[in-house]
Chain A
Amino acid sequence: MSLLLLLGPLVMAVSALAMHLHPPARAHWHLRLPELASLVALAAGALAALDLVVSGPSTGALLGVGPIGVSARIDLVSVAMTLTVAFVGWVVLRFSRVALDGETRQPAFMGWMAATIAGVLLLVGAGNAVQLAVGWVATGATLHRLLLFYPDRPRARRAARKKALSGLVASAALLIAVGLLVGGMGTSDIATINAMAQAGDGPGLLWLVALMLALAAIFKSALVPTHGWLTEVMEAPTPVSALLHAGVVNAGGFLLIRFADVLVAAPGVLAVLALVGGFSALLGAAVALTQPAVKTALAWSTCAQMGFMVLQCGLALFPLALLHIVAHSLYKAHAFLASGDAVREVAKIRRPGPVAVPNLLAVARSFGLALALYFVVGLAFGITSKPPQTIALGAILIFGVVYLIAQGLADLAPRALTWRTVGLSIMATIAYFALQQGATLAAAGTLPAPPPPDGLIWATIVLALGSFALAAVAQTTFPLWAGHPATAGLRVHLMNGLYINAVSDRLMGRWTPKTGAEQ
């Protein structure tokens, strides 16, 4: 059973190779090969899950020389990620088979898609750090080919170049981290590394390893201010965006979760992650609100969601971060693939009449109701025995529910609508707690529990709670102030993503005068 999780990347890679060596004719059934390979990967993932349930976490033998080679880790993290990636991979490959029909380079496209998925599967199922690094770099390289599927598009080239630069930093940081780990600990086995870090047997430079891992994750997951490429890569066919946002961009978060024990040993790095993540989450979400193009809005939302996931890592809530990655992947893959429905959706929104605007009183009542809901449902789930990080995160999510309730409490909202939004809020809260509880229980023993809070952690918690509470109030009272002339400037700056991309365009020489240039 120990080789199960290597089967997925293998068959995906074989199918990719088949596409390159024997490009199928248009509409030939061979174009289904990558899709079938992803089903094999999915089945292997399911068997691995069974194995995990029956015999617990394990790492297969390393096939290779010294610390270098392939080995598969079977635990909650690798199995959950494998299942997610294989499933999303199947969906996007199936989509591509039909959507790209008639493109002369469809076989190449299917091949690079399969290769990218192979890379991600190799990465998430890795039992050793070297394999993980290989998967990491391979994913970036194959994705690059997909981003340049239409190489004549200047905007595609610009975005791919930004992504390549970002990928370079991320890869360099990861290679340094892996080098330090293998050099310092004498092993590349991930489970051993985590166990040693947990026991305090790490090398002296463990903080540097953690910092490099954090750096790699920030660049790979496109957190602000390294997000430029992510919000500009709608220049490749829709399935690429779906795969990228659902399967590739969260590799950064996966890395943090994979080396959770290493990170817990470096509290300073965790605090940095919480700050960078939280900032990305709030900025990305605010920018997404102002975007009138559907894919652009979705891309900014990914930037925000990745930020939120990294914030969870920063609070050492690794099981929740894993849950977030999986849930977000599923949601975002669907959102991108179905983005053609946006015309209909926008028309549908206008149909039942104007949106009722809650006044300040209604907002205050919603906050009260949401907190009461949190308290009641939380008690049922035994919240009092949870670490403060978990409680704080729950509160942040409840701030979101406030918005749902407030919509039903607006003066002009009919009573029936009020009841329904309250009902939805209760369901959402229960679902959230149940999933959170489930993830935490399932991850016990695999992922470290959050450390007891010290001053730094308390500061992080208070800062996160405060800023998200402020954002929630702003969000809920939004219609009351968004039209005010004083906010017009803020809107313009947010629409432009606070010009971070304009600055990076300038640094990359887009606006530099070229003498004698002509095109």
Chain B
Amino acid sequence: MNGHISWNGQVLELFAAAEQAMRQVPPAFPLEATVAVNPWLGQVEEDRVIAAARMARAGGGRMVLPRDTVAAMIETGEVTQADLSDAAAAHGLSAADLRRAATQPASPRPALWTVAELAQDETGVDWPAFVEERISHWAAAQFDRGQAFWPAPATGAWVSWRAYASRDLTSGLAGLSGFAERVQALPTDARAAFAEACAALDLSDRAAPLYFHRLLVTLSGWAQYARHLSWTAERDGGRDTTLFELLTIRLQWEAALMDQGGAARRRAWAALMDDYARPVEPDADLLLDLALQEAVDRSGERRLADTLSDGTAPAPAEQPAIQAALCIDVRSERLRRSLETVDPAIATIGFAGFFGLPIRHRAHASDTVEARAPVLLSPGIDTRSSTSVREDTSARVRLRTIRAWGRFKRAAVSAFAFVEAAGPVYVGKLLRDALGFAGASGDEAAPSLDMPLAQRIGSAEGILRAMSLTDGFSRLVLVCGHGASVTNAPHASALQCGACGGFAGDVNARLLAALLNEDAVRAGLGDKGITIPTDTRFVAGLHDTVSDEVRLFDDALPDSHRPELVRLRTALAQAAALTRTERARALPRGAADSLAQRGRDWSELRPEWGLAGCSGFIAAPRARTTGRDLGGRVFLHDYDWRQDRDAATLELILTAPVVVASWIALQYHGSAVAPDSFGAGNKLLHNVVGGIGVLEGNGGTLRPGLPWQSVHDGEQLGHVPSRLVVAVDAPEEMILRVLDKHPKVRALFDNGWLTLVALDDAGTIGRRYRDGAWEDRNLPAARVSVAA
């Protein structure tokens, strides 16, 4: 479109700057199926210190714990003197300076101003809030997925905003007269409008990248939601310009506010542009902040090392009676530990909960395609719930009747009739929900996989090898996904399985169990050197992370396996009780026997802690960690490097599950330290908008990330951010080889976003990775850095 327009060099530079700025914005997925995203995804390729400085200038919030929190941790001994000295040395500071800094307030680090702030400073009118409110008002309708009865016309963002803003009379009432007329006269092409606004601002290409980033930060969740559109489109080989159009829209306000002001505003702006053009550099105070966070990170690493070196691990059982594969999710750790405790003949395995099947699933009587796969992957396997056409049709008629009644309830004239005819029914609904009597939804029919046999065999082989499960099969193998039964929770999907794209893991687990039970697939696997004994059966399960109960999908299990099934059921029930007892201690008002009820309580804002507290990732055989209390804070991925000759599995682990785990850990980190930028705010004020996200209260921008109640228990942080420690049981050179192949993954470790350590032969944490080499963890870091 508009291919005939040719741009001059200056404008092309500005387009590039916009592109650069847009890549600084992390994607935010809609709440219908949300997954954790690293809020600093756009900065991972630069050092954490530089990124912190950049975010501060762009107004993107802080990146590290506040100093008083760290001071308190020093006080209680959680952060030791050794942690402090290590951290100080790593940042070229003295430990004493660092310790002193913890008790001194950090200097405020205000964001660079936009033209809206210049106008506010000059006139006293809160223009930044006004612009935010006007854009949010439009954006809420533009991105609405079905909340409003009368939706915005389905067009692109720029066209839609132009139509909206040229009619909206609010800005005139607020004193910015002529804005609607101004918008009316703007070009219909977003790029032309972008160029016009930049020209009106006299924007220099050196100031542009950071300035554009700053503008996108003012749009907060809306920009991040738009970024998710382009991020997903790019992943699937497409392209989406919504975020660029949003930037263009924000620029129009800047241009209008510039023209509203006089020469003084222009002068102030010219000076401001110099600030934007200056390279991003951390100051000494920021360095102290980062070093204090480093001390907390080191303390987390130290605690994990202590746990792993504490005593000797029990020898693994000879041949387990039952094997149970669960998701690597940190919540599985407790259940796995309990399960192995109550029945030592059960061995557990950790693997990403989508079980290697990136599916596009269609549930019963549904047109919606659910991408049940990690968002890093483009889901390619179509599956559906296998029900008869007749059942499907009658279910649809039922759902459509409910929908018609719902529309009757909300439409303009009928809403009055609805209240008078059906209002009294709500006595019952209020009673039911106040007392938590709402029933659970029924079982979904078994999913079916439509895939040629060769491909099925190929998938099965790849999955088993990635699980390091190629022999030693027990008679019964449990394939267990997880999900959370909660009610009245806008962020429910954040509690589901991240590896399943924010859905529960039952569908994927059932598909894999069925796949591995298929005779033809087993025959094919035999040809590839994986022999599954004929008397081995796979059964799928779903771990409810609110109640810790596991539901088994055992319809197809032959009678011959009843004894094992009974044994598994008994063990699961006992393990659930054990897990609940442990978990109840960490939950406010927690009692082991009431945890399941929390999921049914419509007023419960903390049904469970989700992945709060996550701080480690261990890729090793389970024997390395069996019997150690990792406190539900560690992702456990089974990995046996001796079976991984070409390092293909390690490559997979470091590029997929580790990256997903880092996104989760950093999301919790961001929502805890920068709740205004990367947190969804107070659940008590949540106002769901468009079915995709929440506003906090009556307005403002879309709030991405996790709510405050999900990271804070009311008195203290429920998630104390500490850098994720990735511990890999593999030879150091083998790990380096994989990192060299994947510079983007390597950047995560080189730039201080993640810690990488190797497990030594004793099963404890050995040396730490640092800039392409390995250093001893207990050596003073300063000496090491000189040596390196």
Contacts and interface: CB of A to CB of B under 8 A. Distances in A.
A345 B409 CA distance: 13
Contacts of A349: 146, 403, 406
A283 to B, nearest CB: 10
B586 interface: no
B685 interface: yes
Nearest to A341: B488
Contact of A420 (B125, B401, B695): B401
B169 to A, nearest CB: 6
A402 B417 CA distance: 10
Given A101-B589, A292-B140, A404-B404, A331 B684 contact: no
B232 interface: no
A344 interface: yes
10 contacts: A99-B683, A100-B684, A285-B415, A350-B145, A351-B367, A355-B403, A408-B404, A421-B401, A492-B163, A502-B169
Interface stretch (B391-399, B465-473, B539-547, B740-748): B391-399
B316 to A, nearest CB: 42
Interface string B657-691: 00000000000000000000000001111111111
A478 B682 CA distance: 37
Interface stretch (A60-68, A137-145, A262-270, A332-340): A332-340
Contact of B408 (A159, A339, A403): A403
Contact of A101 (B121, B588, B697): B588
Interface string A404-436: 100110000110110011001000110110011
A237 B682 CA distance: 9
A330 B415 contact: no
Contacts of B683: 99
Nearest to A329: B423
Contacts of A75: none
Contacts of A235: 685, 697-698
A347 B167 CA distance: 31
B147 A483 contact: no
B651 to A, nearest CB: 36
A289 B413 CA distance: 11
B505 to A, nearest CB: 18
Interface in A290-334: 290-297, 301, 304-305, 308, 320, 323-324, 326-328, 330-331, 333-334
Contacts of B170: 496, 499, 502
A496 B134 CA distance: 10
Interface of B: 31-32, 121, 123-126, 129-130, 137, 140-141, 144-150, 152-153, 163-164, 167-170, 173-175, 363, 365-368, 393-394, 396-397, 399-401, 403-408, 410-424, 426-427, 429-430, 433-434, 487-490, 492-493, 588-589, 601-606, 682-692, 695, 697-700, 709, 712-715
Interface string A152-172: 011110010000000000000
Contact of B366 (A87, A237, A351): A351
B261 to A, nearest CB: 12
A282 B419 contact: no
Contacts of B606: 101-102
A96 B692 CA distance: 26
A403 B411 contact: yes
Taking each of B415, B686, B700, B714, which has the highest tally of chain A beta carbons within 10 Å of its own beta carbon?
B415
B404 A343 contact: no
Given A338-B602, A488-B167, A492-B167, A27 B589 contact: yes
B775 to A, nearest CB: 42
B158 to A, nearest CB: 15
Interface stretch (A252-260, A378-386, A393-401): A393-401
Contact of B714 (A26, A88, A237, A514): A26
B141 A290 contact: yes
Given A291-B147, A294-B689, A339-B688, 14 more contacts: A99-B605, A99-B684, A102-B606, A288-B410, A293-B140, A293-B687, A324-B419, A338-B602, A343-B493, A346-B691, A353-B396, A414-B393, A431-B421, A475-B413
Nearest to B691: A346
Contacts of A327: 419-420, 422-424, 426
Interface stretch (A124-132, A178-186, A451-459, A505-513): A505-513
A98 interface: yes
B589 A491 contact: no
A397 B32 contact: no
A482 interface: yes
A488 B153 CA distance: 8
Interface residues of A, number: 131
Taking each of B140, B412, B603, B709, which has the highest tally of chain A beta carbons within 10 Å of its own beta carbon?
B412
Contacts of B410: 288-289, 297, 301
A10 interface: no
A232 interface: yes
Contacts of A414: 393, 397
A94 interface: yes
B420 A26 contact: no
Nearest to B123: A513
A251 B365 CA distance: 45
A120 to B, nearest CB: 17
A346 B424 contact: no
B423 A290 contact: no
B490 A343 contact: yes
Contacts of B174: 502, 505-506, 510-511
Given A155-B699, A292-B148, A399-B413, A95 B603 contact: yes
A502 B493 CA distance: 36
Contact of A155 (B146, B433, B604, B698): B698
B416 A341 contact: no
A459 to B, nearest CB: 21
Taking each of B121, B146, B400, which has the highest tally of chain A beta carbons within 10 Å of its own beta carbon?
B400
Nearest to A430: B421
Given A282-B412, A511-B175, A429 B685 contact: no
Given A232-B698, A432-B417, A511-B174, A346 B167 contact: no
Taking each of B126, B149, B429, which has the highest tally of chain A beta carbons within 10 Å of its own beta carbon?
B149
A234 interface: yes
Contacts of B487: 341
Contacts of B153: 483, 488
B687 A424 contact: no
Given A355-B403, A424-B405, A334 B141 contact: no
Contacts of A338: 433, 488, 602
A346 B147 contact: yes
Given A292-B140, A305-B419, A398-B417, A334 B426 contact: yes
A371 B320 CA distance: 72
B488 to A, nearest CB: 4
B1 to A, nearest CB: 20
Contact of B603 (A98, A346, A503, A511): A98
A353 B367 contact: yes
A297 B603 contact: no
A257 to B, nearest CB: 15
A234 B715 CA distance: 25
A337 B404 contact: no
Contact of B401 (A153, A291, A323, A424): A424
Nearest to B424: A327
A493 B419 contact: no
A353 B397 CA distance: 10
Taking each of A94, A345, A348, A492, which has the highest tally of chain B beta carbons within 10 Å of its own beta carbon?
A492
Nearest to A423: B401
B156 to A, nearest CB: 15
A297 B125 contact: no
A204 interface: no
Contacts of A402: 414
B603 A94 contact: yes
A324 B688 contact: no
B422 to A, nearest CB: 7
B147 A292 contact: yes
Nearest to B601: A98
A291 B695 CA distance: 13
Contacts of A282: 412
